[in-house]
Amino acid sequence: IRCADAAMYSAKQSGRGQYRFFDPSLNLTDINEFSLEQSLVAALSERQFILHYQPQIRLDSMQVSGYEALVRWEHPQFGLLYPDRFISLAERSGFIVALGWEVIRLALEELKGWSAQGRSSRLAVNVSAIQLRQADFSERLLSELAQRGIEAWQFELEITETVVLDDEGMAVEHLERLRVAGLNISLDDFGRGYAGFAHLHSMPLNTLKIDRALIAPLSNSYDDNPIVSSTITLAKRLGLTVVAEGVETRDQLVYLKLAGCDIAQGYHFSRPMSAEQLYQYAPFTRTAEPVCG
Ligand code: C2E
Ligand code: CA
Ligand code: CA
């Protein structure tokens, strides 16, 4: 049956109305992927998706400015699965729409819990371009916020350039509407794929996140890195808040602070944490270690 599954999966990947005989070269990842796709739907009703939270630190005050929510799947057999194992599959199969609403629901429930404890904060979720193709996306999101008494400033959407590249007219409208309502809109992974300068002007954004591939080479805080420093300058001239992601070392942090970056996120401060770990980390009241300039 596993061999037949793999053959069927391979046929499905080639489009509609295809058939395939099993061939040993159809490797295990095809089989795994097929069974993963099958269990994604069950995982949703079994509530196996959870969020981890990674703090973002303001470099002027070294205080936590908010958190990014990152989805994980608590798989009953395979353990904790990271998004690289299932997000692109969910995007290909369209399951990302249902998963996206589950992530939003989990994030809003967490925010509500924080507020009840007097620890209001801002929480960002990652949103895939496919989610923004739903005609009722912005309306439904605003009503989900209102139902829980969550204020717009507490919620942020992280989007990527693909939103604009494959926009059929709806995505930018949703984002504009949400930004007017007071939500923060952040452009993720800037500098990873296409050069996005052309879109920066036309997108309704508040924040630019510099991809960790650009941050990783920053090793010595005294050497200039013209790409990173000019990206920061450009973003600030466009009136955007700048977040550096994947900050792993103190040298990177010092460089970014001197270059005028507003916020940093990465293992240097903290790995993404479960809700329980976050409660113990308690950065709501604690200040992170200051950086001298
Ligand atoms: P991303 O949005 O760029 O998220 C940041 C990723 O970098 C996270 O991986 C995080 O754990 C990792 N990271 C954070 N700090 C550091 C660091 O200092 N060094 C290094 N090397 N890595 C760091 P994660 O959680 O595995 O997420 C991977 C990607 O999956 C995310 O990349 C995002 O594109 C996607 N993703 C996560 N959650 C969701 C979701 O709810 N919906 C959608 N559509 N995509 C999601
Ligand atoms: Ca992100
Ligand atoms: Ca990113």
Measuring from atom 46 of ligand 1, which residue has the nearest CA? 126
Tally of domains within the chain = 2
Both 94 and 156 in one domain: the answer is yes
Both 140 and 57 in one domain: the answer is yes
Compute, in degrees rounded to 10, the torsion defined by CA atoms 158, 98, 152, 53: -60
At 207 the three-state DSSP class reads: strand
Both 38 and 175 in one domain: the answer is no
- The model's pLDDT over 6-58, given as tens digits with 9 standing for 90+, comes to 788 778 777 778 888 887 776 656 556 777 778 899 999 999 999 999 999 99
Closest by alpha carbon to 207, among 243, 162, 168, 250? Answer: 243
* 266 close to ligand 1 (CB < 6 Angstrom): yes
Give 273's DSSP letter.
B
Asked if residue 186 lies in contact with residue 122, where contact means CB atoms within 8 angstroms, the answer is no
Return the H-helix or E-strand segment holding 80.
Answer: strand 79-81
pLDDT at 290 over 50: no
What is the rounded CA–CA span in Å between residue 228 and residue 64? 23
Q: What's 137's domain CATH number?
A: 3.20.20.450
Q: Do the domain assignments include residue 169?
A: yes
For residue 2, report the distance from its CA to the centre of ligand 2, in Å.
Answer: 35
- The model's pLDDT over 72-105, given as tens digits with 9 standing for 90+, comes to 999 888 889 999 989 998 998 899 999 999 999 9
Q: Do the domain assignments include residue 234?
A: yes
Q: Do the domain assignments include residue 98?
A: yes
Asked if residue 212 lies in contact with residue 183, where contact means CB atoms within 8 angstroms, the answer is no
Both 249 and 209 in one domain: the answer is yes
pLDDT at 293 over 50: no
Both 35 and 62 in one domain: the answer is no
- The model's pLDDT over 253-285, given as tens digits with 9 standing for 90+, comes to 999 999 999 999 999 999 999 999 998 875 554
Among the ranges given (122-131, 135-144, 213-222, 257-266), the one the predictor scored with the smallest mean pLDDT: 213-222
Most informative mutation of 70, 84, 192 for ligand 1 (most atoms within 8 A of CB): 70
* 189 close to ligand 1 (CB < 6 Angstrom): yes
Asked if residue 54 lies in contact with residue 263, where contact means CB atoms within 8 angstroms, the answer is no
Q: Do the domain assignments include residue 178?
A: yes
Tokens read off for 252: 């990177």
Asked if residue 242 lies in contact with residue 260, where contact means CB atoms within 8 angstroms, the answer is yes
Domain span at residue 1? 1-17+25-46
Residue 193 pairs with which residues in a beta bridge?
none
In sequence order, what are the residues at sequence separation of 6 or more whose Cβ sits closer than 8 angstroms to the Cβ of residue 172?
A: 163, 164, 202, 203, 204
* 188 close to ligand 1 (CB < 6 Angstrom): yes
Both 115 and 36 in one domain: the answer is no
Both 29 and 145 in one domain: the answer is no
Q: What are phi and psi of 85, to 5 degrees?
A: -80, -20
What is the rounded CA–CA span in Å between residue 174 and residue 135? 9
Q: Do the domain assignments include residue 214?
A: yes
* 272 close to ligand 1 (CB < 6 Angstrom): yes
Q: What angle do CA 144, 147, 240 make, to 5 degrees?
A: 50
Stretch 115-120: mean pLDDT, rounded? Answer: 90
For residue 189, report the distance from its CA to the centre of ligand 1, in Å.
Answer: 10
Both 148 and 186 in one domain: the answer is yes
Residue type, 157: L
Asked if residue 51 lies in contact with residue 70, where contact means CB atoms within 8 angstroms, the answer is yes
What is the rounded CA–CA span in Å between residue 224 and residue 6? 51
Ramachandran area for residue 90 (φ above 0: left; ψ -120 to 50: alpha; else beta): alpha
Among all ligands shown, which has an atom nearest to the Cα of 70?
A: 1
Q: Do the domain assignments include residue 286?
A: no
* 55 close to ligand 1 (CB < 6 Angstrom): no
* 204 close to ligand 1 (CB < 6 Angstrom): no
pLDDT at 196: 67
What Å distances lie between residue 244 and 62, 207, 249, 260, CA to CA? 14, 11, 12, 11
For residue 192, report the distance from its CA to the centre of ligand 1, in Å.
Answer: 13
Asked if residue 49 lies in contact with residue 33, where contact means CB atoms within 8 angstroms, the answer is no
Task: Work out which ligand 1 atom sits closest to the CA atom of 128.
Answer: 44
Measuring from atom 35 of ligand 1, which residue has the nearest CA? 83
* 131 close to ligand 1 (CB < 6 Angstrom): no
Measuring from atom 10 of ligand 1, which residue has the nearest CA? 272
